[in-house]
């Protein structure tokens, strides 16, 4: 698998600082799982965070602060609440394809129809229910018009691929879009299955409302 | 016993050695030295990121407690000690922001094995990072710092510096280009 499209540096930096919303962060994690180059980049940004922290002046803590922590060292770690049991629809996936590990704790809805050749499945993050994440599947050789008004939109290709004016995208690639991107992606002969997330409080319906099928094959 | 009355800069090798002692022997003296070094820096870091004094102090304490609990997972081949502490405190901050809404996420990044590119001798990397920060112009350093110290970096930076968003984005890109060597990418 050759990865040719990576997240922008800005995006990786924001991931390293913890500033991405939970949905975008999840999609970036899906990319990082398969991309040593971006993992190294994020590790570099984290080192930058460490260096900035090291360079801080000293801000004294309350005199009792150390004793308070010392008194808690032998406490057992807090008991985590019962782990969320994800609700997963039985998704029909292309043969041999499995969903990325980063989706392990997520609820995944069934495929819903959105026009000929286009289906989506809503992904719910129990730790961030407001996150706007979905799986999107476009049938072989099918075109869609995406006119995005989201502030920031990340799409990680999981299977198959597509082409548009910005290039050809295959498994492992990440596409970034913002409010300026207007494109007409066309799925390749295998079709295209991807994981997408949006920034901002846009509703799923609002986004899909802008995703219109293109006439013809 | 007070661990915070004197500043005591520890170099990266000493930090790693002390974390190793905590992991191997639950060494409280080592922990005290680490607390003395990191806790005031963590508090300053979070104050700069906009937390109140109380919240910054609490997060510094929680970070140190987590350092104690997770010391075994520190791998000097993967990241320098300061970088590791930074990721702990960042993850705590993310969890804290989400706490009202549900359980903490599984963080798959903990399972990543280091790529060859990511492995750098920690002291060497820390030194390179300091040098890299030193070559940035004041403006560039400021946008990078603001990236780390604000939750919605670009918009917040634009507001703070009273600049158009596009200018902020290009300044960050330029600063990142200058940092590229130190960041270990090609
Ligand atoms: Zn990548």
Q: Is the pLDDT of residue A143 over 90?
A: no
Strand partners, B87: none
* Domain residue limits at A52: 1-57+102-217
CATH number at residue A125: 2.60.120.10
Is B104 in contact with B35 (CB distance < 8 Å)? no
Last residue of a domain, one of B61, B79, B103: B103
* Residue B110 located in a structural domain: no
Q: Where are the alpha helices (DSSP H) in chain A?
A: 9-17, 22-34, 36-54, 65-72, 204-210
Structure tokens at A102: 């980063």
Nearest chain B Cα distance for residue A131, angstroms: 11
* Domain residue limits at B122: 117-179
pLDDT of residue A96: 85
- Buried b / exposed e over A77-92, threshold 16 CB at 10 Å, is eeeeeeeeeeeeeebe
CB contact under 8 A, A127 and B104: yes
* Residue A68 located in a structural domain: no
In DSSP notation, A148-203 reads ---S-EEEEEEEEEEEETTEEE-TT-EEEE-TT-EE--EEEEEEEEEEEEESSS--
Residues in A touching B148 (Cβ below 8 Å): 17, 48-49, 52
Residues in B touching A33 (Cβ below 8 Å): 108, 112
Last residue of a domain, one of B103, B134, B149: B103
- Ligand 1 centre from A37 Cα, in Å? 6
Q: Which of B3, B31, B105 lies at the smallest CB-CB distance from A127?
A: B105
* Residue A97 located in a structural domain: no
B163 and B85 within one domain = no
Backbone angles phi, psi at A162, to 5 degrees: -155, 165
pLDDT in tens, B99-142: 645 444 443 333 333 333 333 444 566 666 667 777 777 777 77
Q: Is the pLDDT of residue B170 over 90?
A: no
In DSSP notation, B6-73 reads S-----HHHHHHHHHHHHHH--HHHHHHHHHHHHHHHHHHHHHTT--HHHHHHHHHHHHHHHHHHGGG
pLDDT in tens, A2-31: 899 999 888 999 899 998 889 999 999 999
B82 and B15 within one domain = yes
pLDDT of residue B25: 96
pLDDT of residue A82: 72
Residues in chain A: 217
B168 and B144 within one domain = yes
Residues in B touching A61 (Cβ below 8 Å): 4, 39-40, 43, 57, 60-61
């Amino acid at each position: 698998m050759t990865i040719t499209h990576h997240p922008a540096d800005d995006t990786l930096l924001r991931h390293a600082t913890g500033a991405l919303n939970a949905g975008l962060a999840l999609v970036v994690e899906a990319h990082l799982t398969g991309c040593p180059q971006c993992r190294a980049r994020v590790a570099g940004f984290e080192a930058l965070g460490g260096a900035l922290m090291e360079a801080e002046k000293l801000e004294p803590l309350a005199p009792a602060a150390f004793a308070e922590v010392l008194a808690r060292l032998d406490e057992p770690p807090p008991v985590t609440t019962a782990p969320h049991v994800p609700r997963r629809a039985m998704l029909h996936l292309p043969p041999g394809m499995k969903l990325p590990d980063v989706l392990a704790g997520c609820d995944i809805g069934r495929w819903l129809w959105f026009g000929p050749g286009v289906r989506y499945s809503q992904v719910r993050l129990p730790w961030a229910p407001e996150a706007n994440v979905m799986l999107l599947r476009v049938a072989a050789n099918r075109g869609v018009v995406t006119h995005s008004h989201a502030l920031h939109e990340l799409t990680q290709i999981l299977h198959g691929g597509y082409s548009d004016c910005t290039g050809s995208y295959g498994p492992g690639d990440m596409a970034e879009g913002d409010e300026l991107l207007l494109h007409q992606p066309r799925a390749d002969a295998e079709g295209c299955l991807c994981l997408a997330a949006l920034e901002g409080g846009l509703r799923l319906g609002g986004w899909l409302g802008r995703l219109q099928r293109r006439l013809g094959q | 016993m007070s661990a915070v009355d004197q500043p005591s800069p520890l170099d990266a090798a000493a930090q790693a050695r002390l974390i190793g002692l905590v992991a191997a022997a639950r060494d409280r003296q080592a922990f005290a030295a680490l607390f003395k070094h990191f806790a005031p820096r963590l508090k300053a870091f979070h104050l700069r990121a906009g937390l109140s004094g109380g919240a910054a102090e609490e997060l510094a304490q929680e970070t140190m407690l987590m350092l104690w609990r997770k010391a075994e997972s520190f791998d000097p081949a993967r990241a320098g000690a300061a970088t590791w502490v930074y990721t702990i405190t960042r993850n705590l901050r993310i969890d804290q922001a989400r706490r009202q809404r549900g359980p903490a996420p599984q963080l798959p990044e903990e399972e990543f094995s280091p790529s060859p590119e990511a492995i750098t001798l920690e002291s060497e990397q820390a030194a390179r990072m300091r040098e890299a920060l030193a070559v940035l112009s004041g403006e560039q350093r400021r946008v990078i710092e603001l990236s780390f110290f604000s939750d919605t970096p670009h918009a917040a930076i634009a507001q703070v510096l009273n600049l158009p968003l596009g200018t902020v984005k290009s300044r960050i890109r330029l600063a990142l280009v200058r940092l590229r060597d130190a960041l270990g990418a090609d």
